[in-house]
Structure formats: structure tokens, C-alpha cells
Copies of this chain bind each other. A is one copy, B any other.
């Protein structure tokens, strides 16, 4: 039986291997358990996919309580580490963010993403306030003896002022501050181009997270560029819902069930995903 502390340390170490850490983002119990069955060493959540699955648009419209309950359901059935996307931490103050971090530890998570902008306004928080939040999370993990792995996301590439080069520099500056404040990985949202990714990694000399999206170079190129973590973001939920759309069009169109019956799980396999891996 691995303790939550050991799980956190094992998850941290996965950010310092030669091979990239590929982290699939789930949104409910069976999506997480399928990823575990397929051999991923850890699983993350996607905030957008989790929130929408429960009837909330992405962001912090869901209550912290309902959000933590969703994380807990997933953590309960996973034997591998779980990292939770905590949006901007469910609160504007470091104390509120620390409270969210405590809730995540109690829910069974060993890592989290925290982003430096406000979903409702798309405005960046100051780098300084984000640094304070990162420090508060780190302190919370130490106090509870579950050293949470902090993935500090910056949305400066999207929402900082100035042209693309000014925004890139702002993202690098912010990532350096977050790294120095005690984050374990930095996550510049919006990096796709291999040259930009390489520049970012060189500027940081530290674990960097990139997200799967159209145009992202394949895993081997990311590894060569020194990227240490690749996450799916909401992509797997986009794909699963895209399949439901194709299924619907087929059944309503031709009245056949090919897409509904090919490459599927069985009833017993589905049920086995409700409980921890044997």
C-alpha cells in the first residue's frame, strides 16, 4: 500500500526522467480508470471536462465542494497518482487557495494545476499574487505531509499585453518566478510551435508542460526538445463527444450501429472500472 506522501514523491520524480511524462486528462471514474489500465503512470483531470460533465461551463462556477467531490470519486478508484486541475484555485487570496489545496489533499490528489488568470474576465492576475498562491500551496503540502506537485500555468501567451514576442517574454518571466517560488513544473498555455517550445524549455531549464492540440509535434520531437510533461487537456473529452456525434448521425441516418459496436468495452469491463484495479 503506497501512502499519499509516497504517491506525491513518485509523481514528482516522473517529471525528471529522460522520457517525457504523458499525462492523460480524465473527467470521471471510468475515463480515469481506462487510462490507468492502459499503463499511464499517473492521471490528471481536465477542468473543462470535469465541470461540463457536471453541468457547469469551465471555470469556477461550480462550488468548491462539488468540485472536490468529483476529484474524490476519481482518486478513490485510482492506484496511481492523480493530479487535479484546480483552475485558479477557487478564490482570489492565498488563504482561499490554500484551503482548496487542503481539500484536494483530503480528496486524495497528489498534484494540482493552478493558472494565473481569471476565467470570467480573462484577465491575468499579477505574477506576484500567483507567486504567493504557489508558496501557500507548497506550505499546505508540507504541513499536511503530502508534498503536492504544483504545475503552475501561465496564460500570458494568450492574455498578456503587447505583440507575440512581448507575450512570450512575459510568459517566460512569469514561469521563472513560479519556478523560483517552488512550483514543480510550469505550463505555458498556448505553446504549439516546436521552436517556441524549445526556446521556452531552454529559458527555464526546468520541467515544462505542453498540451496536445492540433499542430503539436509528436512525442519524440517534444522529448528531443527537453519537454518533461505532455498533457491531453480536454482533448479526450472532445474526442469522446465527437464519437457520440458520429454514432448519432449513423443511427439516425442509415439506421445501423457500426460506430456504436466497434472497438467497444463489454459490460463486465465497464463495471470493473468502478472499482480499483485488481
Contacts and interface: CB of A to CB of B under 8 A. Distances in A.
A218 interface: yes
B248 A56 contact: no
A212 B245 contact: no
A28 B267 CA distance: 18
A49 B263 contact: no
A243 interface: yes
A234 B34 contact: no
A29 interface: yes
A252 B52 contact: no
Given A40-B252, A261-B212, A264-B242, A30 B271 contact: no
Nearest to A212: B257
Contacts of A34: 241, 244-245, 248
A219 B22 contact: no
Contact of A29 (B31, B53, B254): B53
11 contacts: A24-B247, A34-B248, A40-B248, A40-B252, A52-B270, A54-B73, A214-B261, A219-B255, A219-B256, A239-B259, A242-B263
